[in-house]
Structure 1
């Protein structure tokens, strides 16, 4: 109302105008404030720097950043010694940041830090410059800005903010170990060993969760070196082992898995013992592999895991030549109707061979009969040979030879079983008293076998057969002579009577 009166004193009117603008500013009526500040600035009045600064703040409140920047630039140039110049310079840098003009903002804050080291905004300027560097990918420069606030202005709100930003920057630079070392040099922080332990572990775990195994290996190794008895030493070893395993670093994986297994931690146990079983098996340490496969079998959560464990146990037992154990797990697998074909074939062959080695002829014949029907190739030749051998043992020489003829005709490409079969065929002929065919077959082996020691075996059996026949002939002559002597004795006795 006062400003509407005619003849109002100019000095008082100017003062009232400025007060009214300030009132609008204080009540958040920014557009009205801008207008009255502009009216005030349109005259030759004192405190123009103040009005210009306030007006620039109002421009920011109504999102007119360009006009705010222009106003602040004008203020700094026209009133370099104003008490508002320092604040205006800082606000100009903030405005450039908001407008996305990072290069201009960087220049402003760099100059501000150099020219106004005692300003109340110096801490904020360091943080702002650090954020600009971070946005530009200049991580080390950003870190230096954040660290300077923490180190030079401890126990302030800005130092706590800078500390959080420094932690993030250390993590982005993959230098969380450096963060821990740095924190331990500071005084006045409320960050304890437990927090540092968690920080270093969580940084490494973040790498793992993002699928960055290389970063996980470094992070978990750094954590374990820094905190060997740390809160997270068991999961750290586990995730280290998982990444080492995926990278083919088996020795490192084995060492870390062993730590987890020894800890008794249940949450990682099943995967850990599975991995250890496979690692030891790959290294042909079958005793240790068997030990861990047994643990896996006690922890399985589904049928497929149980199958894998039993297959591992069967294979380890076979390598360790524990024939009864091979038989045990092979038969266990064969009872599983959902067993994959490859594993079924392996289990069936192991069952047949184990039964044969254990002299369990009934089961050996049972399983080899299944092998002959269900499996092709060399396994079929092997099964046919042993089935023929079973017939030979019980004197079914013709049936044995029928099987051998079938095998030689249909599976001729397996020399081991071909030459074995010809020698067995000769034994069948000998059993049938057909020594001509027996010797003919043995001579064929002696003259043509170019694999293994089958020629020597045939030669040895030929000599054995000849010796056997000689003995049989001598026994026959001996029986005939004894009968004649008895006849002559009886005749003499009759004559004497």
Structure 2
């Protein structure tokens, strides 16, 4: 095919035109490309990318295209554009022949490396083909990649790349530093030190280097070097490093036993995240201990709470030693106990247990009885050098801890400690304690056990005296007399002034009870001559008068009564009455009348007022002044319906009217007597007099009708009545108790309203009471009380109230005691009634009334110390219930002065409590220590005081003591005192939460009960 010439020419021009156009386009692209490269070189990646995007290379696989693809991807990566990573991957795939393909991954990796984005740097470095690296960029890649691996936590691979450049002139020094640091982190301190030294020689001067080397030398035990390097770095370090360097330097001095030098550095340590741990506190505390700064040592050691490891055991042991140095023995006891309960260091455990045992003996123990603590040591270390010493303390601890019951058991049942002298003393002291607790039967058993070991002469004398006292209380007067006389004849007795000075008084009273009045008078007289003026001397004069009176020696009796009356400090109404009454026996009725009338004026509130009225009336009757007699009988009948003289006054008045032939008045009096007191002797006499009156009136049929309605009158059975009663009474007088009980019961079955039913009911009740059959005695006492006033009423009321109190039937007790208070003739029974009304009303929550009765008791002149202590204690308890703390505080203060035993423990507890409330925490703890030493057997107050001590320590910033006590309350007393243990747990959680803020070793557990409440 032939072409036309014109066509060929046209094609030629067309081709020339295209070529020119392409040249122009290429030139423009090249300019844009160069502009983009300039911007790229100046790190203006966004502008560069704009320029690169303007170029559309004609050759998709040419040089320009490959360069554009690379720089576009590189710019996008550097701009962190989405898809930048994909663009770079596309470049590597699409341009396998490009020389930039070899450095693409390395370039991106270097970019991320330079910007400290080590995670992304690693991703790109991992893709680098290391075989294509040249000499220039190979070391740079190895170092950068090593450091990237180091920062992204690939230490082993990192070290292998650092090793490749450790001899590089440019990177070698830094590589050695990081190789050293990784060895340091791996606890390979020898290699680390070598690398750090080489790095230093090669010119690396990083501020951490000396810190690391100091720490490594410390860990290698090269403490002098650690100190030197630490001090070298200290001033150049930041706050965190400075804290750690102080710790390293301080611990290095500590390990070199240079404790004074260690202290300032240990103090400057700031802990991990602002918290110390138990080891930190231990080291500073021990350094203070060695420097003999014991208060500072305590301050550090006691921050270690709830510890249970070798460090804690050491800390608690040295804490205890520090407390001993500053005379804080209670705190030392707790710390020794804590250390003795850990097994990490056997030597410390043994010595701590020994000190714990010795301190328990010295100051008491709230956790266990002291003998038990000592026994535990002997059981754990039976062959120790201290075993004999602890054995001796064990014997004596029975006495100092007042654990007498356990002591007696141990001494009787353990041959290893069968010390007769200790047994004699312990049984005596136990007997005294039982005696004071009114447990007389058990007390006498112990007195007799003490007397079985006749070693200590003073103890023999004392036990003999108190054994006689128990016999006296049991009405065994003959045995009591033997004991008193035996005591008086003992050589050592005269040295025991507290009891010897009253021995004649006791002997006199025993003769008096045996109705040997002449001997009683001699003894009372002897006693009164020896003793100074006091209540006992006053009583001796009164009883001397009574003894003479009983013997019929009325003038000496009156003389003795006058001596009592002359002692103006004492209420002498009884002595005055007896003196007045005695004039009648020496035919001085005019003087008797004068004295009785004087008595009525002087003692209008005396309990003997009705006695005086009755005997004044009788005296007027005996001198035939019947009108005056009747006027005094009338006063008594009107004003004293509960008087034992009431029935007698009706009887006497009736007889006067009968003798004066005033029959209707006589019948009125006598029938009233029979109606109101049917079981009295006076009633039976009245029936006979009524019979005579009706005979005189010629009205026997009226009498017969009247007498038929009286169920206690059966003339035909009167002989059988008397015979049956007398049979029982004879057994009673012969002390044949069982036979007497059987006889009186038989009598009352046959004659429930018989002539002697009142006596039978009373004697039967007394016998049953004394035999311990108190419940059965109640009905018989009630029969006596319901029969009206008699010579037995007062005692029956007393015994009934005692039974109701024992049964805790406070309502019935109160009713009975109020009647006793009103009707009693004997002062001691009035005091008994008021004292027990106070107690019964307290139990019934009548607190104001309780205080009123307490005040009555405290207002009495001759009340004994125990009664006063009771009055104060019930005032205090009631005041607490009424939230009157000021009154309670005052009352407990008085109890503390007067009481012993349980009441003393209670008073001391409240003393500690009030001091705590007043912020006197040290003083409060002193009182708790007294309770611990002397009254720990009263667990209620001992444990409550123990909890109070924990609260005191918390307030005194002694977290260790507070938490340890609380833990032991929870551990040892949860069953006995669950409410207190729960409160202790809450307080313990509170303390631990506080301390955990500064001590990382303390783990705070959630309290489920608290969470439950909050929900």
Residues 23-42 of structure 1 correspond to what in structure 2 (within 5 A)? Answer: none
Measured after TM superposition, the shift of residue 49 of structure 1 is: 0.7
The verdict on how the C-alpha distance between 1:403 and 1:291 changes in structure 2, with shifts beyond 3 A counting, is same
Residue number in structure 2 paired with 1:377: 573
Conserved? CA contact 2:424–2:451, under 8 Å? no
1:217 and 2:407 aligned:
no
Aligned to 1:333, which of 506, 518, 527?
Answer: 527
Question: TM-score, length-normalised on structure 2?
Answer: 0.30
Aligned to 2:411, which of 227, 233, 239?
Answer: 227
Residue number in structure 1 paired with 2:516: 322
The verdict on how the C-alpha distance between 1:160 and 1:306 changes in structure 2, with shifts beyond 3 A counting, is closer
Residue number in structure 2 paired with 1:415: 610
Conserved? CA contact 2:282–2:301, under 8 Å? no
1:65 and 2:65 aligned:
no
Task: String of CA shifts for 1:80-109, please: whole Å, max 9, x gaps.
Answer: xxxxxxxx99977843655626359959x9
SS at match of 1:263: coil
Residues 51-450 of structure 1 correspond to what in structure 2 (within 5 A)? Answer: 51-52=224-225, 56=253, 60-61=257-258, 63-66=260-263, 69=266, 94-95=286-287, 98=290, 100=297, 102=300, 113=310, 126-132=313-319, 137=334, 141-145=338-342, 149-150=345-346, 161-165=351-355, 167-168=357-358, 172=365, 173-175=367-369, 176-181=371-376, 183-184=378-379, 189=384, 195=389, 197-205=391-399, 208=400, 216-218=401-403, 220-228=404-412, 230-231=418-419, 232-242=422-432, 253-264=443-454, 265-278=456-469, 281=472, 286-298=477-489, 299-301=493-495, 305-336=499-530, 338-340=531-533, 342-359=535-552, 363-372=553-562, 375=565, 376-391=572-587, 400-412=588-600, 414-428=609-623, 437=625, 450=637
Conserved? CA contact 1:142–1:169, under 8 Å? no
The verdict on how the C-alpha distance between 1:425 and 1:92 changes in structure 2, with shifts beyond 3 A counting, is closer
Conserved? CA contact 1:330–1:347, under 8 Å? yes
Tell me the distance in 1 between the aligned counterparts of 2:397 and 2:355.
14
Task: String of CA shifts for 1:8-29, please: whole Å, max 9, x gaps.
Answer: xxxxxxxxxxxxxxxxxxxxxx
Residue number in structure 2 paired with 1:434: none
Higher Cα Rg, which structure: 2
Higher relative contact order (CA 8 A, sep 6+): 2
Tell me the distance in 2 between the aligned counterparts of 1:65 and 1:57.
6
Conserved? CA contact 1:197–1:227, under 8 Å? no
Tell me the distance in 2 between the aligned counterparts of 1:425 and 1:259.
59
Greater alpha carbon shift after TM alignment, 168-177 vs 346-355 = 168-177
Conserved? CA contact 1:330–1:351, under 8 Å? yes
Conserved? CA contact 1:96–1:105, under 8 Å? no
Residue number in structure 2 paired with 1:7: none
Tell me the distance in 2 between the aligned counterparts of 1:373 and 1:186.
68
The verdict on how the C-alpha distance between 1:183 and 1:408 changes in structure 2, with shifts beyond 3 A counting, is closer
Measured after TM superposition, the shift of residue 406 of structure 1 is: 1.2
Conserved? CA contact 1:314–1:330, under 8 Å? yes
The verdict on how the C-alpha distance between 1:149 and 1:295 changes in structure 2, with shifts beyond 3 A counting, is farther
Residue number in structure 2 paired with 1:475: none
The verdict on how the C-alpha distance between 1:226 and 1:449 changes in structure 2, with shifts beyond 3 A counting, is closer
Conserved? CA contact 1:277–1:288, under 8 Å? yes
SS at match of 2:458: coil
SS at match of 1:63: helix
Tell me the distance in 2 between the aligned counterparts of 1:364 and 1:179.
65
Tell me the distance in 1 between the aligned counterparts of 2:257 and 2:523.
79
Tell me the distance in 1 between the aligned counterparts of 2:628 and 2:382.
97
Conserved? CA contact 2:465–2:487, under 8 Å? yes
Residue number in structure 2 paired with 1:49: 222
Conserved? CA contact 1:244–1:250, under 8 Å? yes
Aligned residues: 365
Conserved? CA contact 2:427–2:446, under 8 Å? yes
Measured after TM superposition, the shift of residue 161 of structure 1 is: 3.3
Conserved? CA contact 1:422–1:445, under 8 Å? yes
Tell me the distance in 1 between the aligned counterparts of 2:285 and 2:592.
97
Conserved? CA contact 2:562–2:579, under 8 Å? yes
The verdict on how the C-alpha distance between 1:170 and 1:53 changes in structure 2, with shifts beyond 3 A counting, is farther
Greater alpha carbon shift after TM alignment, 370-379 vs 264-273 = 370-379
Task: String of CA shifts for 1:283-324, please: whole Å, max 9, x gaps.
Answer: 655555444433443313377754422222222333343323
Tell me the distance in 2 between the aligned counterparts of 1:58 and 1:440.
111
Conserved? CA contact 2:333–2:356, under 8 Å? no
Residue number in structure 2 paired with 1:5: none
The verdict on how the C-alpha distance between 1:388 and 1:51 changes in structure 2, with shifts beyond 3 A counting, is same
Tell me the distance in 2 between the aligned counterparts of 1:48 and 1:197.
46
Tell me the distance in 2 between the aligned counterparts of 1:287 and 1:148.
66
Residue number in structure 1 paired with 2:51: none
Q: Which runs of 5+ in 2 are unaligned?
A: 1-212, 228-251, 271-279, 291-295, 321-330, 566-571, 638-645, 662-1015
Tell me the distance in 2 between the aligned counterparts of 1:140 and 1:458.
82
Task: String of CA shifts for 1:30-63, please: whole Å, max 9, x gaps.
Answer: xxxxxxxxxxx99x99988153489726975572
The verdict on how the C-alpha distance between 1:230 and 1:65 changes in structure 2, with shifts beyond 3 A counting, is farther
Residue number in structure 2 paired with 1:10: none
SS at match of 1:64: helix
Q: Which runs of 5+ in 1 are unaligned?
A: 1-40, 74-87, 115-124, 209-215, 392-399, 430-436, 467-497
Conserved? CA contact 2:545–2:557, under 8 Å? yes
Greater alpha carbon shift after TM alignment, 222-231 vs 182-191 = 182-191
Tell me the distance in 2 between the aligned counterparts of 1:331 and 1:187.
61
SS at match of 2:260: coil
Conserved? CA contact 2:301–2:316, under 8 Å? no
Residue number in structure 1 paired with 2:897: none
Conserved? CA contact 1:281–1:289, under 8 Å? yes
The verdict on how the C-alpha distance between 1:89 and 1:323 changes in structure 2, with shifts beyond 3 A counting, is closer
Residues 444-459 of structure 1 correspond to what in structure 2 (within 5 A)? Answer: 450=637, 451-457=646-652
Q: CA RMSD in A?
A: 5.1
